[in-house]
Amino acid sequence: MSSLATEAAAPPAPAPTPPRPRRRRFPTVPWLLLSASILILGVLTGYPVVRMLIMSFQEYERAQVMGMPADWVGLDNYVAVLTDSGFWAVLGRSIVFMVVAVTLTMVLGTLIALLMMRLGKKMRLLVAVGLLLAWSMPPLSSTTIWGWIFDTEYGLVNNLLTRVTGDRWFGHSWLLDPLGFFTILTFIIVWGAIPFVAFTMYAGLSQIPGEVLEAAQLDGAGAFARFRLVMLPYVRTIVTVLIVLSMIWDLKVFPQVYALQDIGGDREKTNTIGVYIYQMGMGQGHFGTASAIAFVFVAIMLLLSVYYVRRTIKEEEL
C-alpha cells in the first residue's frame, strides 16, 4: 500500500517540449544565379524607361540632345498629347487594325492547330516546316516581298489581274489607298504571326485527354460543340496569353508599316502608333512629346492586359 501511495503522490512527468520551428533561410543561391540577368535587364531596360519617363516631363528637343539644359514643363507634354486630334486618330486607327489582325491570327492559327491534330505524322511535319519557314523570315524581308507582289508596275497581282480580266492593271497603286494599305499590312502581320499561335495552340490542344473527347463524342457532341465546351476550357489560359501578346505586338508594330510607307503608302493616312512615336521623336525632334505618347501607350496596353488576365482568373475560379 505504501508503495502505491508513493507512486500516486509523485509529480507527473514534464511534457516534452515541442521542437523549435526552423527558420526559413533566404534562398541566396537562386538569386545569385539570377543576379547577372537582373543586372543586365535593369541596365538595358530599366534605364531607358526611367530616362524616357524623365523626358516626358521636360521640353526635350534637338537642342537638348546637343547639350542644352532641358526645362521642366510638368504635365504639359501629356496635356498636348491628350488634346491632339491627330494622336487620337492614329490611336483609333491602330486599335482597329489590332482588333482585325488579332482576330484573324487567333482564328486561323487555331484552325491550323486543329488541322495538325488530324494530320498524319508526315503531313504534320510538312505543315510544321512551312510554318517555321514563315516564322523565321525577318519582318523587313517579308514586307519587301509583299511589296513586290503588290508593286504598281511590276507586281504579281497587277500582272495576274491584267491577264485574267483583260484590263490594264499596270499602274494601279494598292498602297496609296489607306484601305488597301492596311489590307496588305494585315496580310503581312497575320502571315508572320500565325505560326506562333498555331504551334502554341497545338501544344495545348494535344494535352487534352483523349478519353474526355471520346466521352463527349459518345454523348452526341459534334465537332464544334466539342471544341467550344471541352477543348476551349482546357486551353483558356493559353488563349488569353496569346491574345494579350498579339495585342501588344500588333499595336506596336513598326518595321512592316514603315517599310510599306517607303514603298508607296501615304504616311499621314497610314501611321500607326509605333511609327507615329518614331516620327514625333526621331523625325521631328520632339523627344519629350514622343516620350509622353509612349507612356500613354504603355498605360493603355496595361489596362487592356490587366482586364483580360483578371477576366480569365475569375472564370477559372468559378
C-alpha cell at 26: 533566404
Are the C-beta atoms of 247 and 300 separated by less than 8 Å?
A: no
167: DSSP letter: S
Domain-embedded: residue 56: no
Determine the pLDDT at residue 313: 67
Q: What contacts 24+ positions apart, CB below 8 Å, involve 85-94? A: 87/276, 87/293, 90/271, 90/272, 90/273, 90/276, 91/273, 91/297, 91/300, 93/271, 93/272, 94/251, 94/272, 94/273, 94/274
- The 10s digit of each residue's pLDDT in 207-230 is 888 777 778 777 777 778 788 877
Q: Given phi > 0 = left and psi -120 to 50 = alpha, else beta, which region is 166? A: left
Q: What are the per-10-residue average pLDDT scores of the chain (318 residues)?
A: 51 60 70 86 84 88 82 88 89 92 94 89 89 88 87 83 82 85 92 92 86 77 78 85 88 89 84 90 87 88 76 63
E strand segments, 56-141: 58-59, 71-72
Residue 184 CB-half CA count within 13 A? 28
pTM: 0.80
Give residue 137's domain range.
Answer: 98-281
Domain count, the chain: 1
Closest-CA residue to 226 (of 105, 114, 119, 106): 114
Domain-embedded: residue 264: yes
Q: What contacts 24+ positions apart, CB below 8 Å, involve 292-299? A: 292/56, 292/77, 292/78, 292/80, 292/81, 293/81, 293/87, 294/52, 294/56, 295/52, 295/53, 295/56, 295/78, 296/78, 296/81, 296/82, 297/91, 297/251, 297/252, 297/273
C-alpha cell at 33: 544565379
Determine the pLDDT at residue 316: 59
The domain that contains 108 carries what CATH number?
1.10.3720.10
Integer Cα distance of 250 and 274 in angstroms: 10
Domain-embedded: residue 158: yes
Is 117 exposed, middle or buried, given 0-12, 13-18 or 19+ CB atoms closer than 10 A?
middle
Domain-embedded: residue 5: no
Query: 72 - beta bridge partners?
Result: 58
Domain-embedded: residue 114: yes
* Helical (H) or strand (E) element with 238: helix 236-251
Integer Cα distance of 286 and 289 in angstroms: 5
Domain-embedded: residue 116: yes
SS3 151: coil
Dihedral sign (CA 275, 276, 278, 279): positive
For residue 93, the tally of other CB atoms under 10 A from its CB is 18
Domain-embedded: residue 303: no
Integer Cα distance of 311 and 297 in angstroms: 21
Amino acid at 53: L
In order, the DSSP letters of 171-186 are T--SSSSHHHHHHHHH
Determine the pLDDT at residue 151: 83
Domain-embedded: residue 137: yes
